[in-house]
Amino acid sequence: MQYKNNLKLKGCLAIAAVASSIALTSFTVQAEQWRGWNIHPSGYPNSEALESFAKEVAEKTDGRVEPKVYHNAVLGDQPDAIEQTRSGALDFANFNMGPMGPIVPTTNVLSLPFIFNSVDNMYEIMDGEIGDRFADVLAEKNLIALSWFGSGARSLNNVDHPVHTPEDVQGLKIRVMNNDLYVQMIDALGGNATPMSYSEVYQALKTGVLDGAEDNYPAYETSGHYEVAKYYSLTKHLILPECLCIAKSSWEALTEEDQKSVRAAAEHAAKEQRQLWQEHAEESKQKVLDAGVKINEVDDRQAFKEKMQSIYDEFVKQNPQLESLVTDIQAAQQ
Ligand code: BDP
């Protein structure tokens, strides 16, 4: 009997050993493979920061999460990638708040032209309580915004002439990101706004479908738009934050400890991105100048700002619940 029990016990131990080794194996195999979307080419500040994020997450979670960044929008264009991240088909991404507006309407506040006076003001505001309010509305749409990247200030470019006054925009066909507010913005200046996917702009400029576009120095340079649209006029009409966002389902699958590591990695990435941005913007500026681009200051930016008043009035009328967010952002910069 004793002998039989011993045998049984041995059998159980053996089974337990096999089971635990299976569990161990499946544990290693089950490392979460995270797919991350990025619109920019490798070497771009955002791309570098996303790579650092991926590396830190893999290290700090002891390989339980293995993020991989896919550059150059190979996983789809931005509006599509936002939806894919919301549904959990993609795990993380760096999104601009411009194309976010149609999906998370509160973020449209950030797309009101001239809402931020400077990039530094934008950082300060997004890093504080107001930024948390945006993170909350994004979370309601299944996007966990862990940190905020910068994207400089966007200015107008075109193939034809420098822009000094709103009148100079008259009749120009200008590409905008997918957001109705930008259509209103260009219309208010007398231009013809054409919403278009980022990847299509270069060809459209080349073939004359577009007269111009608007972007920051690094995007204007790396997209090659400067090769065709040789006038860059410093209207600085939009200062858009970007998020490092995680799909809610991927976030919730993490242990609390891993969530802490991922959040810390996202914060480090934002710090790196902001620093690299500064350097890269200078380099891009020099590169486009060397290529013969004519950059001009816009002395009377106020004239452009005034043209935007009707957009603010209409926005607040349509979204009375967002008025306090608009005024809080303005008040924080007084
Ligand atoms: C860049 C943003 C990118 C946008 C792009 C655009 O970083 O997310 O898609 O502008 O103009 O500055 O579409």
Predicted TM-score of the model (pTM): 0.91
Sign of CA dihedral 156, 160, 165, 170: negative
Give residue 21's pLDDT. Answer: 47
Give residue 30's pLDDT. Answer: 79
Pocket of ligand 1 (CB under 6 A): 39, 78, 96, 151, 177, 198, 215-216, 219
Q: What is the pLDDT of residues 238-268, one digit of tens each?
A: 999 999 999 999 999 999 999 999 999 999 9
Residue 32, helix vs strand vs coil: strand
Which residue ranges form the domains of the chain, and what is each CATH number? 2-149+242-282 (3.40.190.170), 154-239+287-331 (3.40.190.170)
Residue 198 Cα, ligand 1 centroid: separation in angstroms?
A: 7
Give residue 202's pLDDT. Answer: 98
Sign of CA dihedral 187, 111, 244, 85: negative
Residue 154 Cα, ligand 1 centroid: separation in angstroms?
A: 10
Among 82, 148, 198, residue to substitute to test ligand 1 (most atoms within 8 Å of Cβ):
198
**pLDDT beyond 80 at 272:** yes
Chain centroid offset of residue 267 CA: 14
Q: What span, in angstroms and rounded, lies between the C-alpha atoms of 330 and 334?
A: 7
Residue 98 Cα, ligand 1 centroid: separation in angstroms?
A: 8
Residue 219 Cα, ligand 1 centroid: separation in angstroms?
A: 7
Residue at 168: amino acid letter: D
